[in-house]
Structure 1
Amino acid sequence: MSETYKTSDHYNGKTFLNPGQNDLKSFWQVLKWKMTNARVEWPKNVPIKNFPLRMLAPDEKVSATWINHSTFLLQFPGLNVLTDPVYSERTSPFTFAGPKRVKEPGIPLDILPKIDVVVISHNHYDHLDLETIKKLDAKFHPLFLVALGDERLLLKEGIQNVKAMDWWEEVRVKDLRFIFAPSQHWSARSLWDKNESLWGSFMMDSGATKVYFAGDTGYGKHFLDVKSRLGAPDLALLPIGAYKPQWFMRFHHMNPEDAVKAHIDLGSNRSIAMHYGTFQMADEGIDEPERDLKLAREQYKISEDKFGILEQGQGLSY
């Protein structure tokens, strides 16, 4: 990594880290998981419903449509945003191996409305999909907001409209503020670049409404920090999948109970689940996250209206 970033509690001059934490799994721990896993097989293909493309009405502050995995179309007045867009068949460096989608995207790429901004939380293949990014750049030439270090990937592909962000840095586009906030995760695209780029979440604040996109994260105190520094979101998009086995996944991926606790910590008015049901990234079954979310809501006395699920292609508006 040739770039030099400012040293901080999350950058030591060579690699990025989670402040006060070090839970990167070793090769032997990965091997243990692969040799002892109790993986529940997913179906090869699950049809999705066809929902009409939801467009923001003049009296609405924001519309959120779940496309797949961690990809949402967020429509604010005068500005359309995509989060972690993934349209490829596999979330992998290879076209012939790696997690393969079992559900088609809820909004086909060719019928997306004009995209103004794309936010990318980190560089894992199920969040930073270069083929999708190149297609979006060719069609819309949006502004790409990425974590420190990930600008190199995009610039190498000839994508010029890129802004790399550190934690708590802010970018304003029209009337919408994008604040890059912490998450608890890690980064790598290969065996040789571990934690050479940052990871994080985004708060999007229009003045009339706040939307929080958690990216990919384990449960930690950063949710309280986000609320303290940026205020409670009106809408939070929170991951609930890729959490089994817990001994291996928990630090970097929330289970549904963790996500409910994050919803509470954030003081979110309403939350939507994501990061499940499209690509099998861990050992749980395809329906387990939804079932476990229901149990967690009951445990913490959170109504389905306050923390619910959408089908791929389904949206809601405020």
Structure 2
Amino acid sequence: MSYLMLTFTLIIAVLLIIRKKMKGVSCSVDRDMTGEVVVITGSNTGIGLETAKHLAKRNATIIMGCRDMQKAKQAVAQIMQETQNKAKIELFQLDLSDLDSIRTFVKSVKSKFDQITILINNAGLFGLIEKRVTKQNFEMIFGTNYIGTFYLTEQLLSLFKKENQNRILNVVSYIQKFDSPDYSFFDSNKKYEHIKAYFQSKYYLTLYSLYLNEQYQDSLNLKSVSIHPGVIDTEITRNLCSSIKIINIFLNSFLRYIYTFFIKTPIEGAQTTLHTALINFNQLAGGKYYKECKVEELKQITIKYAKETYNFTNDFLSKLKY
């Protein structure tokens, strides 16, 4: 009996250690954000909503860009309730898969604000089993996660003023060790592989973070970073899991309770985003990749590829008259 008890205790201890590691660290920095104007995409659910809540509680003005306005209005009501109606929020519709929607969103923001200080590119898409294309005929995942985010950011750059301490925070993912950018993803006729499309889109976005930091750290007093939030129980993760039959069966069984025991909640997944938004500006490592509230070096993210992908993307959109 004592042997069984010891074995059981060791198993529980190991599981708790694994759980603690999977759940990640908590943001330990804080500051008052009065006067800050923060744009957050995909802020009606998941880590975007948690980020909006916590920055609103610190007196930032939040501009929410969301595709589903019904869910977004519910999110606004939730934030207002949690802040005793003190939150300063503006809500505009934004569909990152449609460049015309992005134009309309930017026009709406500029009609009410003459400056912003933080842009959090949080919205993302994954787990589409069947191939879909955007209005401008990009593969949907790559077109939303990278091209849409790129175009939005470029259109908002004029709202960053040099006298402020400006930040662009790009929520990415685990970055695979790609040898170089694969420009075939700009071709909607490419064979559809949704997992590769997702990771390439996040790889491109990480390169774009480095480019933005290099290009604007002096002229706009702007720092740009990439953020890996970890594996989180959000809509995007559930879409991924449902697209893989074995995992979907796993999650629809009683074993889902084990899955949720280890995976991060949205607030746990938002910690690194909050860290990079709240840390003293002079301590923020511009151009870097943040994971668990600290910098992780990525040798495959080089300024050479960052400039190359920026020029390719910019030229590609210019040919489409965007």
Task: Give the TM-score taking structure 1 as reference length.
Answer: 0.37
Q: Which structure has more strand as a fraction of its residues?
A: 1
Pick the structure with greater CA Rg: 2
Task: Give the TM-score taking structure 2 as reference length.
Answer: 0.37
